[in-house]
Chain A
Amino acid sequence: MFKKRLIPKLQMKTVQMGGRPRTALVTTRTFSEVFQIGDPVSQAKIYQAQAADELVFLDLDATTEARETLATVVEQAAEEIFMPITVGGGVRSVADFRRLLQSGADKVAVNTWAVETPGFIEAAAGQFGAQCVVLSIDFRREADGVCRVFTHGGRRASQWDVVAWAQRGEVLGAGELLLTSIDRDGTREGLDLALIRQVAGAVGIPVIASGGCGLARHFVEGFLDGRADAIAAGTYFCFKDENPMQTRSRIANAGIPIRLHQ
């Protein structure tokens, strides 16, 4: 049977350590507060041992210099990790895209650049195949209830409504959507189920939901009520009191097909 996916999200930021730049694993809350918690490659290996279904690496700095560091982290991870890896953060050209694929990424997440230059989705899908283009959509629910797409790490509002942009992205050739609620990021209050369900019903490509998971129940809701194909979580998986195996059992007990072993 085809399974729903649990995807740990590894967010990274360059920090100064002993006067030298180093890539740290971080979690965030509503895209504003940042908490440094460890090393991304070591954490990725833990997730491999726990049989995560995929991994997402996101570089929060999204600068030209950081992108090279990001490629190095992916190279190191890909040597020992044999599951699909999605990488994103500051991708602004087909060359950036290719560089990350060559480092060992299977898919590349694009956000700001896709909004600024939608033709890029088409170009990347044409060149590398739709399956490796993940359209990452960060959104906020505004006072009038409209879910608006934000770019530049949540700092800049675009003109797009989430559903309209998701549909446009699919037409342009995106292979998957990664939806992240900025308001719920790191809050552990649960996913934005209404929006996820709306997008899942509006497109034919897989939808990865993220932002807000704090309890095993939130994953169950995301699959059953939100109709998500996959759920990504950073904060939830990063803190060791949450055991992914127990979370999987809870999801399976709710009648949702998910991998339990390996």
Chain B
Amino acid sequence: MIAVIDYGMGNLRSVVNAIEMAGGNPEVVSDPSMLQAAERIVLPGVGAFGDCIANLTRTGFAETLDREVRGKGRPILGICLGMQVMARRGVEFGEHAGLGWFAAEVLRIQPADPALRVPQVGWNDLNVRREHPVLRGLPKGGDVYFVHSFQMCCDDPADILATCDYGGAITAAVAKDNIVATQFHPEKSQDVGLALLANFLRWNP
């Protein structure tokens, strides 16, 4: 079972549909104790950083995730805000501590080119910085779909799997041990996104 975490934010249906299409067996999970039975975990998320971490904490997911992911090494995929909350700190609507899995800060996008808008909404190509099983076999120059106003800035460049260019390099995917996360939405990125999800379903970190 692939646990799709429901902590009261966002459109989970698309994530569930896409995991099914990629060959997985998703289940929407709103009770942290269910994570013990999960083979893998997907942490989706739209909305604001502060609300997200508050909801994860209130529902008990923050603590359970730390145990299952960091303690037991369960593979996890974070998507969009689900990636950002893995950082140490976010500054959207005030300063908030994140899960702290990555030495990173989540800051507002400030494109060098003033013609570029914030949020970044749309398709951009991935510049892969380092090989990773979850990115294996993706079409060269394949575009993926982004919607975000904030970006994850990593202290350690080795955590970055891929970037996109939006008036400067923006972190598009990160990975460390059994954790992988994307700023873009694989569930909205047509064939490239479904291929990435299929890779995640097969990944044995």
Interface status of A61 (Cβ within 8 A of chain B): no
Q: Is the CB of A204 within 8 A of B122?
A: no
B121/A83 in contact, CB under 8 A: no
Main secondary structure of the interface of B (DSSP, over half): mixed
Q: A83-B145, A84-B188, A128-B46 given as contacts; is B117 within 8 A of A101 (CB)?
A: no
Size of the B side of the interface (Cβ < 8 Å), in residues, is 40
| Chain A: interface size category | 35 or more
Interface hits, A37-88 → B, CB 8 Å = 48, 51, 53, 75, 78-80, 82-84
Does the CB pair A262–B142 fall under 8 Å? yes
User: Which one of A48, A84, A101, A204 contacts B145 once the chains associate, using CB atoms below 8 Å?
Assistant: A84
Contact B122 A78 (CB under 8 A): no
Residues of chain B in range 101-159 having any CB-CB distance to chain A below 8 Å? 115-125, 139, 142-143, 145, 147-149
User: Chain A 109-135 against B: per-residue CB contact (8 Å), 1 yes, 0 no?
Assistant: 000000000000000000111111000
Does A192 reach chain B (CB closer than 8 Å)?
Answer: no
Say whether B123 contacts A204, CB under 8 Å: no
The reply on A104 being an interface residue by CB < 8 A is: yes
C-alpha spacing A230/B143, complex, angstroms = 16
What per-residue 1/0 map shows which CB atoms of B34-71 lie under 8 Å from chain A?
00000000000011100000000000000000000000
**A1-9, A159-167, A215-223: which lies at the B interface?**
A1-9
A103 contacts B by Cβ under 8 Å: yes
B169 on the interface (CB 8 Å rule)? no
Determine whether A229 belongs to the interface, using a CB cutoff of 8 Å to chain B.
Answer: yes
Residues of A within 8 A of B14 (CB): 78, 82, 104, 106
A131 lies within 8 A of B139 (CB): no
Residues of B within 8 A of A138 (CB): none
B1 at the interface (CB under 8 A from A): no
Contact A129 B47 (CB under 8 A): yes
A251 to chain B, nearest CB (A): 13
Asked if A212 is at the interface (CB within 8 A of a chain B CB), the reply is: no
Q: A256 at interface (Cβ–Cβ under 8 A)?
A: no
> How far is A246 from B142 in the complex, measured between Cα atoms in Å?
19
In the complex, chain A residues whose CB is within 8 Å of the CB of B192: 262
Whether B189 is near chain A, meaning CB under 8 Å from some CB there, is: yes
**Complex alpha-carbon distance, A3 and B13, angstroms:** 26
Residues of A within 8 A of B121 (CB): 131, 175-176, 206, 229
Bitwise, A15-50 to B at CB < 8 A (1) or not (0) is 000000000000000000000000000000000100
Contact A262 B143 (CB under 8 A): yes
Q: How far is the CA of A205 from the CA of B166 in the complex (A)?
A: 14
Inter-subunit contact B13/A262 (CB<8 Å): no
The yes or no answer to B177 lying at the interface (CB within 8 A) is no
A2 adjacent to B119 (CB under 8 Å): no
CB distance from A166 to the nearest CB of B (A): 13
Does chain A have a CB within 8 A of B173? no
B33 within 8 A of A: no
Q: Decide: A259 and B119 in contact? CB cutoff 8 A.
A: no
A259: chain B residues at CB < 8 Å are: 123, 143
B90 contacts A by Cβ under 8 Å = no
Q: Which 9 A-B pairs have the closest CB atoms?
A: A129-B47, A104-B13, A3-B123, A131-B147, A2-B124, A206-B121, A129-B46, A84-B188, A206-B117
* A to B CB contacts below 8 Å, 18 in the list: A1-B165, A2-B122, A2-B166, A4-B122, A5-B122, A82-B188, A83-B188, A83-B189, A84-B185, A102-B11, A104-B14, A106-B11, A131-B121, A175-B119, A229-B121, A229-B122, A262-B142, A262-B190
B residues with a Cβ closer than 8 A to A are 10-11, 13-14, 17-18, 21, 46-48, 115-125, 139, 142-143, 145, 147-149, 164-166, 185, 187-194
Given A1-B165, A104-B11, A206-B121, 13 more A-B residue pairs with CB atoms under 8 Å apart are A1-B124, A3-B124, A78-B14, A83-B189, A83-B190, A101-B10, A128-B46, A205-B117, A206-B117, A206-B122, A229-B122, A230-B122, A262-B190
